[in-house]
A and B are shown apart, each in its own frame.
Chain A
Amino acid sequence: MNGDGREQWLCFDDFRPGTVLHRLDFVLDDVRRGQWEEIYGSSDRGSRVPAGMLVAAMMQIYIQATRRRPPGNIHAGQLLIFGQPVFWGNTLDGEVSCEEKSLRNGRRWLTFAVSLRKGKQEALQGRIQTIWAL
């Protein structure tokens, strides 16, 4: 215990590049479909899931993996590589790992890699670039 409250947070020093932080089975269910369509509206896509829904799923996995992230983090950049389309009712396998960390200009940069797959088929690969607060 160092008394400055750091022990309650996930800190920059805690991350090891290459380490898987969290896995999640993500069901593309009607609840999520309803939430998505209330925000962005519905469209004539049939049962195909909007590509942005995968981005939301990516964030959910990242948020679950970093529950103890400190206040003041900055989501600085985002890379997305889209794969094959998926459909409502599908279950995706999600995984998030710490990909890279570096100190640049006094800032703590962390990059997280997130993948979403349906079986062996890639649906989305994401890279979340953050400036970590502690």
Chain B
Amino acid sequence: MKTADGCERNEIPVGVLETTSEKTRLYAELTEDFNPIHLDEGFAALTPFKVPIVHGTMGLNLIVDTIDRAMAGIPPGTVVDVRFIKPVPVGAIIRASARRVESDQRYQIDIELPDGQRAVDGTCTIGSNEPVPGNPDF
């Protein structure tokens, strides 16, 4: 994979996001997902999580944005496939990383919590810039 500066890299620069309650509220507005588990401390205290947790795709988007910035745009046909492993407490500073594996196009991607545990992991296979067919069956 060539990054935005034209270099071949086994890793792309780490992305960091401080998941404040204000950013979580903005993400709720962006997605219309006002589930109180993300926004209401009193509600969250009654759940197994005990504290508000960020939207899963708010964390995932840190990975997507990190790759997007590094490559000056995600090439068409790029596939991101992840599992959500652990919730991210609101207020946590999370880090996104991508390391090349197997081939030039395939990256191991993850979101790491401050204690080093992974919240999200999966793969990103960089597309070949071929047009993506308009078939929703994928």
> Can you list, as one digit per residue, whether each of A63-100 has a CB less than 8 Å from chain B (1) or not (0)?
11000000000111111111111000000000101000
Q: Are B84 and A84 in contact (CB under 8 A)?
A: no
| Contact partner, B29, options A35, A48, A64, A79, Cβ 8 Å | A35
* B contact patch SS: mixed
Contacts of A125 in B (CB 8 A): 132, 136, 138
B-side contacts of A76, CB under 8 Å = 83-84
Instruction: Note all chain B residues with C-beta closer than 8 A to A60.
Output: 30-33
Is A55 positioned at the interface, with any CB of B under 8 Å from its CB?
A: yes
Q: In the complex, how many angstroms separate the beta carbon of B131 from the nearest chain A beta carbon? A: 7
Is there a chain B Cβ closer than 8 Å to A15's Cβ? no
Determine how close the nearest CB of chain A comes to the CB of B10; give it in whole angstroms.
22
What chain A residues lie within 8 Å of B76 (beta carbons)? 82-85
How many B residues touch A, CB cutoff 8 Å?
Answer: 41
Number of residue pairs across A and B with beta carbons under 8 Å?
Answer: 121
A110 within 8 A of partner (CB): no
Using CB atoms, name the residue of chain B closest to A83: B132
- Measured between beta carbons, the chain A residues less than 8 angstroms from B60 are 55, 78
The answer, yes or no, to whether A121 is at the interface (CB within 8 Å) is yes
Residues in chain A within 8 A of chain B (CB atoms): 32, 35-36, 38-40, 43, 45, 48, 50-52, 55-56, 58-60, 63-64, 74-85, 95, 97, 113, 115, 117, 120-122, 125, 127
Which 10 pairs from chain A and chain B are nearest by CB? Answer: A52-B61, A83-B132, A80-B80, A52-B64, A59-B31, A51-B68, A122-B132, A51-B74, A52-B65, A75-B56
Pick 18 A–B contacts, CB within 8 A, sort by A.
A39-B17, A39-B26, A48-B73, A52-B64, A55-B64, A56-B61, A60-B31, A60-B32, A63-B31, A75-B57, A78-B84, A80-B81, A83-B76, A97-B136, A113-B136, A115-B136, A122-B134, A127-B138
